[in-house]
Structure 1
Amino acid sequence: MINNAQPPIYEEGLEELMQELKGKYHATNDYRWAILNSDITFITVGTPSKPDGSIDLTHVKQAAKSIGKALRDKEDYHVVVVKSTVLPGTTEEVVKPILEKHSGKKAFKDFGLAMNPEFLREGVALKDFLNPDRIVLGVQDEKTKKILEELYEPINAPKLIVDIKTAEMIKYASNAFLATKISFANEIGNICKKLGIDSWKVFEGVGLDHRISPHFFKTGIGFGGSCFPKDVKALIKKAEEIGENPLILKAVIEVNERQPLKMIELLKKHIPELKGRKIGVLGLAFKPNTDDVRETRAYIIIKKLLEEGASVIAYDPKAMENFKRFYPDVSGGIEYATSPEDVLKSTEIILIVTEWPDFEELDYSGKIVIDGRRIKAAERTARIYEGVCW
């Protein structure tokens, strides 16, 4: 698909860019060919959570082994960069020994090794890559440092050069703090809801403080995706392994896990018995402008609705096929609509789970709407409207 300029995921602007640059990139599953015909290799494989929350390095280890074998045949200096999110110490204590064992070479002497965390947001990843807040390079040897500085020279952004462990930790600290802001906002939002206060106005005022900033203070049903949940859990597990008890991080996860169920609580204020009721769910992706459903709040909500005996009709502009594939345990109980209008025609009860722009164009007249993402059109037109934290 990549070689035919077809993106395997949905990301705004990606298909157009792939078409424009077709012929300037090549995808292959041949490690040896790739490494012998390049100067730098980035390891960008997934690092999912194990059941206990710790990081699963299976894919990182497999990649390092294959790269090491290919490096054995390479005469020129080659730089290996870990871009996957890994806990401090992983690059030097896990990746480095594997590369050295299978290549027969020494890191920082015969080949370069570095850590370069990524901070891209799904949905605006292309924009973020070309206009980053910062570029962090974790390096040890001068030759690797110069090569990576030359690589990133065209991108105008602050470049922070640190040691490898520090670079690894910067990624975790960044994600953990952003996740903390979301859970903190939702804790305050839950209080505001009971006091009849609009939490979005509260955080508009809070965000004007230059020490705080307004970003990631949108109250609602919590965070999902491939980064925040697994990274905070991995950091908790690592902290416990070294004898620390990260109370704040544990609270971040606890708040986030129960937050989506606030939608069900609010719905039951108006419809105490959900058994036999048909409920519309707008949005399945964990955020708009992506087809990613990993750790989506929609799964928790739909699972609870089905457990309560309700039937569900759902719509998402991009994520329905992925949701069917990732969550077969609930997908069989869902009717998938061809448009958001079909959802509104099918039921008077609507839950808004993802803030797709399409949902702002709808007329929610006559509907009971429980809104997890602050869709103004629903707030304006619904017969009964409940915002999760406002």
Structure 2
Amino acid sequence: MNIVVIGTGYVGLVTGVALAEIGHDVCCVDIDANKVAKLQKAISPIYEPGIEALIEKNIEAGRLSFSTDLKSVVVDSSVVYLAVGTPQKQDGSANLDYIEEAATGIAQSINQDTVVVVKSTVPVGTNHYLKEYIQKQTPYQISIVSNPEFLREGVAVHDVFHGDRIVLGADDEVALEKLEMINQGFHIPIFKTGLESAEMIKYASNAFLATKISFINEIANICEKTGGDIREVSKGMGMDSRIGSAFLQAGIGYGGSCFPKDTLALNHIAKNVDYDFGLIQSVIDANKAQQLKLVKVLKSHYSDLNGKQIALLGVAFKPETDDIREAASEVIIEELLRCGAKVSIFDPVASANMKAVFGNKIHVADTISEVLLQADAALVVTEWNEIKNIQLAEFTSQMNHPVVLDGRLVFDKLEMKQAGVSYYSVGTGELQINEPIYI
């Protein structure tokens, strides 16, 4: 089937490539000419393991193309996927400017009855609004299907082919059957429902996972005060099939393009219907506090951070991505700079993005040895394999003071102590000081 996908970000690009991979003819459209030019050469604008190989494969197979001209490519298609961004506004609500712009483009371009498949995360009720919005601008019949995505950055290529379910929401049975046929090649269970339910499934799923993260981080904070080890607590909890081990890894909070935005949006949705969603507000507040956990501990160790050289090991919000949106690292850097610290960062792929935010206020190191050199403390922010595999001797040989604050529970406390490192990790207790450091 001929399919058009509008938007070539994480969702649109992965969706388009995956649909081509299972046999459909797909054209991905974007208004960014430079991005499209790169994609035509199989150069991905996003860092996502495995994506470029699939782009190249499907271009060569003649199933995948890229364009900036929606009108010319939509001529042969009766199915258009909408996968543009819905960034949050200051009040937490979703900004629908981009999706309305794309919807107008659809209305002005189609020449037949069309099914519009909304992959973008939108507030409950938006799909009904979009149908009316597009229908007013075209004589052709519009059907809307809500098809929320559940991809994890860094493993999106895996997830799109191995998902737990494909959610399809619509009030049009014919459109649902068409989308069910399109998605059969994924061999993933399909759950069909109404528009509003499909919209809510997306928000509720992400909010629940965010809640698990904030919950285990709060338990980690209690463990530090009671002598428990959060790793053991998490493992013991996760063995209960009713709870499960996923998203029970304590750390310095969630980030990225989905959880922060979707929890705020869900809270805003609740307020719009005059419901006080106190639980989700607590999740949001707990996450904000947790992102500064390492700085709080660092301040308890050094009474004054002015002039201290602080190394950040990792800045991406999670491994295998260059995404720094809502990352704890940005909040940490801002606070360290406010306290007068000198900040150096190392990340295998995301350093340039963070440099674009802070410019010359931070130093970007090319290697782990460089970022640790003469550092007074190192903060483990992202659990990249390169960071997990650091030889502990590097901390003692390179750093001015071998003080390591582990926000991702990467290292073993006993091994760090034996190596002569003053070590702290979230949920395992106070900083282990081998020798007093006098300031």
1:388 pairs with 2:419: no
Aligned residues: 379
Specify the SS of the correspondent of 2:404: strand
CA deviation map 1:49-78 (0-9, x unaligned)? 10111111111111111111112xx13x32
**Which range moved further: 3-12 or 315-324?**
315-324
The corresponding residue for 1:82 is 118
* Equivalent runs, 1:142-291 vs 2, <5 Å: 142-291=173-322
The corresponding residue for 2:432 is none
Q: Is the 8 A contact 2:131 2:143 kept in 1?
A: no
CA deviation map 1:277-299 (0-9, x unaligned)? 11100111100000111000000
Q: Is the 8 A contact 1:112 1:143 kept in 2?
A: no
Q: How many angstroms does 1:378 deviate by? A: 7.7
1:259, 1:59 → 2: CA distance? Answer: 32
The corresponding residue for 2:28 is none
Which one of 153, 157, 167 corresponds to residue 122 of structure 1?
153
Specify the SS of the correspondent of 2:40: coil
**Higher RCO structure (Cα 8 Å, ≥6 apart):** 1
1:85, 1:61 → 2: CA distance? Answer: 13
1:192, 1:255 → 2: CA distance? Answer: 16
Query: Aligned letter for 1:389?
Result: G
The corresponding residue for 1:15 is 52
2:423, 2:92 → 1: CA distance? Answer: 37
Q: How many angstroms does 1:103 deviate by? A: 1.4
CA deviation map 1:170-200 (0-9, x unaligned)? 0000000000000011111100011121111
Q: Is the 8 A contact 2:321 2:349 kept in 1?
A: yes
Q: TM-score, normalised by structure 1?
A: 0.94
1:361 pairs with 2:379: no
Specify the SS of the correspondent of 1:322: helix
1:97, 1:79 → 2: CA distance? Answer: 13
Q: Is the 8 A contact 2:355 2:364 kept in 1?
A: no
Query: Aligned letter for 1:98?
Result: Y
Q: Is the 8 A contact 1:45 1:59 kept in 2?
A: yes
Query: Aligned letter for 1:91?
Result: N
1:370 pairs with 2:405: yes
2:69, 2:175 → 1: CA distance? Answer: 24
Q: Is the 8 A contact 2:292 2:328 kept in 1?
A: no
* Equivalent runs, 1:37-48 vs 2, <5 Å: 37-48=76-87
1:333 pairs with 2:368: no
1:197, 1:220 → 2: CA distance? Answer: 15
Specify the SS of the correspondent of 2:253: coil
1:203, 1:83 → 2: CA distance? Answer: 33
1:379, 1:31 → 2: CA distance? Answer: 59
Specify the SS of the correspondent of 2:77: coil
Give the gaps of 5 or more residues in structure 2: 1-37, 397-401, 429-439
Q: Is the 8 A contact 1:3 1:26 kept in 2?
A: yes
1:378, 1:66 → 2: CA distance? Answer: 57
Q: How many angstroms does 1:272 deviate by? A: 1.7
- CA shift in 2, pair 1:364/1:270, >3 Å: farther
Specify the SS of the correspondent of 1:2: helix
- CA shift in 2, pair 1:250/1:199, >3 Å: same
* Equivalent runs, 1:334-349 vs 2, <5 Å: 334-349=362-377
2:384, 2:136 → 1: CA distance? Answer: 48
Give the gaps of 5 or more residues in structure 1: none
- CA shift in 2, pair 1:379/1:172, >3 Å: farther
Query: Aligned letter for 2:365?
Result: A
Specify the SS of the correspondent of 1:355: coil
Q: Is the 8 A contact 2:134 2:142 kept in 1?
A: no
CA deviation map 1:71-115 (0-9, x unaligned)? 2xx13x32110110011100102x11221122133xxxx232110
Q: Percent identity?
A: 41
Q: TM-score, normalised by structure 2?
A: 0.84
Q: Is the 8 A contact 1:352 1:372 kept in 2?
A: yes
1:147, 1:241 → 2: CA distance? Answer: 34
